[in-house]
Structure 1
C-alpha cells in the first residue's frame, strides 16, 4: 500500500486506509474500485461500503522514506513526493476521524517529505483539517480532481479558500475541456491525463493543448501525464498513425505522453 511509485508526478504512494465511493463522472471507471473491490475483494466500494485501515507495517514506510530523504534529494534534486491516498480519499466523510488524526500526526513527523493530498471532496477539507493547520503545513500540497469545467468550477472555488503551500488540480481523467479563469486566484500546478483501461473515454488532444496554453499564459505549472490510450494520442488522431507506429515514437505513459513532440512535465516552485 506504499511503495516507490510508477505515477509520473510522485515518488511514493501511501494509503493510510482503503475504500471510497463514487461522487462524479470521473469516478465511473475507478481503477481503485476495480482493483480493491472487484479483483482482490479487499473492500466493498460505495456508500454502504467499508473503509479498511492499512497495516502498522505500511504506516512505517513514510518514516523510512523520511529518514532517507536527504540522500534522495541529493540523488534526485528534489524532496521526496508522496501521493496520499491513491486508493481512498483523506477527506471522505465515512472515514474514522481518529484515522485522519493519526495521518496528520504522521505527516507532521515526516517533515522531509512533500505530501500530495488529492481529494474529490474539497468542500470537506476545512472542517477536517487539524487544529494547528494555520496557513498550511509546509510539507503538504492540497489538490482536487476536476474532470471537466463543471467540476473545476465547483471544486476550485472551494479549494482556493484553503491555505496551503501548494494548491493543485488533477485534470484526470479529462472528460471535457477545462479553461482556467483569466483573473483571480489560480492553482499552482495542473496535472492533465486521459483515462486508461477497459471502457476508457475519449480525450481530445486540443483540450490538453488549450489548458497547457492557459497554464503558460497565467503562470501555472503544467504536467501532462499521459494520453491514456493511443486512441487519444495526436499521432493517431491527427497524423493517422497506427497505435503501434505511435508507440514507437511516444512511449511515455499509458497511450504515450508527448504533446506535439515534447514532454510537458513541470512542477511548481514549493518555495
Structure 2
C-alpha cells in the first residue's frame, strides 16, 4: 500500500474498523483490494510485526487501516512490546476514541514514557475538539482529518494551556474521494490552524490534499 505522506512507511498488524465513518479512506482501500472480507470486523496479522526487527530510523504509522481503540488488549500489549524492543524508530497510532489513553494507562503502557511513541487523536469537527478539551486525556499528536468544518484550536488555550504544551504535532488533511456530501475546506479554516501552530510552536504537517485549497 502507498505510504502515508507524513510517515516513512506503514505496518498494519490489524485491518478493519467497526466505526463506519462515511468518509473512511481505509474502507475504500479495502473495498478496492479486498484485504479482508468484512472491514467492520477487524482481523489481526501479528506476523507483520517481524518487519520491525529489520527497520531503523523510520517513522512508522502502525494503524493506517484500523483504529487502535478497537484492538483487543492482548494485541495492544504484543504490538507495544515489539516496538519497545525496537526503539530506533518513531511509532504513530491514531484513534477517534478520546478515552483510549485510559486503556493504555490501564495496561501499564503509557506512551508518555517513550519519546518515540505517538498516540494521536483524530478529530473532524469543533464538537470533537471540545470533547477532548473537557476530558482529562492529553495527546501529543492531533490529527485533523478530514476537516469537516471550521475548527477553532484557540479554544484549547482558553480552557487548558497545559494541553497546548503537550501537543507536539498536528496533521491537517481534507476529505478525499467523490462522496456525494464531500466537504470542501475553506481557505480560512486552513489559515487559522496554520496561525495557531505558528503561535504555539507546534509542528504542522499539511497533507497534499489540503494544500490545493490555500
Question: 1:81-96 maps to which residues of 2 (within 5 A)?
Answer: 81-92=59-70, 95-96=71-72
Any stretches of 5+ residues in structure 1 without a counterpart? Answer: 70-78, 235-258, 260-271
Using the alignment, how far apart are the partners of 1:14 and 1:41 within structure 2?
A: 14
Using the alignment, how far apart are the partners of 1:45 and 1:62 within structure 2?
A: 25
Deviation at 1:189, TM superposition (A): 1.4
- For residues 186-209 of structure 1, give each alpha carbon's deviation from its aligned partner in whole angstroms, at most 9, with x where no partner exists: 122111111111214211121001
| Partner residue of 1:60 out of 20, 26, 50 | 50
| Partner residue of 2:144 out of 171, 182, 196 | 171
Deviation at 1:170, TM superposition (A): 0.8
Q: Is the 8 Å Cα contact of residues 119 and 143 (structure 1) preserved in structure 2?
A: yes
| Partner residue of 2:24 out of 21, 27, 30 | 30
- For residues 28-83 of structure 1, give each alpha carbon's deviation from its aligned partner in whole angstroms, at most 9, with x where no partner exists: 1211112224651614233xxx2211152x22111111xxx2xxxxxxxxx41111
TM-score (norm 1): 0.68
Relative to 1, partners in 2 of residues 1:36 and 1:132: Cα closer, same or farther, differing over 3 Å? closer
**Which secondary structure state, in structure 2, belongs to the residue aligned with residue 170 of structure 1?**
strand
Larger Rg: 1
Say whether 1:198 aligns with 2:198.
no
| Partner residue of 2:212 out of 233, 243, 251 | 233
Deviation at 1:132, TM superposition (A): 4.9
Relative to 1, partners in 2 of residues 1:32 and 1:156: Cα closer, same or farther, differing over 3 Å? farther
Relative to 1, partners in 2 of residues 1:223 and 1:156: Cα closer, same or farther, differing over 3 Å? farther
**Which secondary structure state, in structure 1, belongs to the residue aligned with residue 157 of structure 2?**
coil
Using the alignment, how far apart are the partners of 2:89 and 2:37 within structure 1?
A: 29
| Partner residue of 2:77 out of 90, 101, 107 | 101
Using the alignment, how far apart are the partners of 1:29 and 1:11 within structure 2?
A: 24
Using the alignment, how far apart are the partners of 2:93 and 2:9 within structure 1?
A: 12
Q: Which runs of 4+ in 1 moved over 6 A?
A: none
Using the alignment, how far apart are the partners of 1:134 and 1:90 within structure 2?
A: 13
**Which secondary structure state, in structure 1, belongs to the residue aligned with residue 113 of structure 2?**
coil
Say whether 1:126 aligns with 2:102.
yes
Deviation at 1:131, TM superposition (A): 1.4
Using the alignment, how far apart are the partners of 1:172 and 1:9 within structure 2?
A: 13
2:39 — aligned with what? 45
2:9 — aligned with what? 12
Q: How many residues align?
A: 204
Say whether 1:161 aligns with 2:155.
no
Relative to 1, partners in 2 of residues 1:10 and 1:89: Cα closer, same or farther, differing over 3 Å? same
Deviation at 1:155, TM superposition (A): 3.0
Any stretches of 5+ residues in structure 2 without a counterpart? Answer: none
- For residues 199-225 of structure 1, give each alpha carbon's deviation from its aligned partner in whole angstroms, at most 9, with x where no partner exists: 142111210011111111122222111
Give the aligned CA root-mean-square deviation in angstroms. 2.4
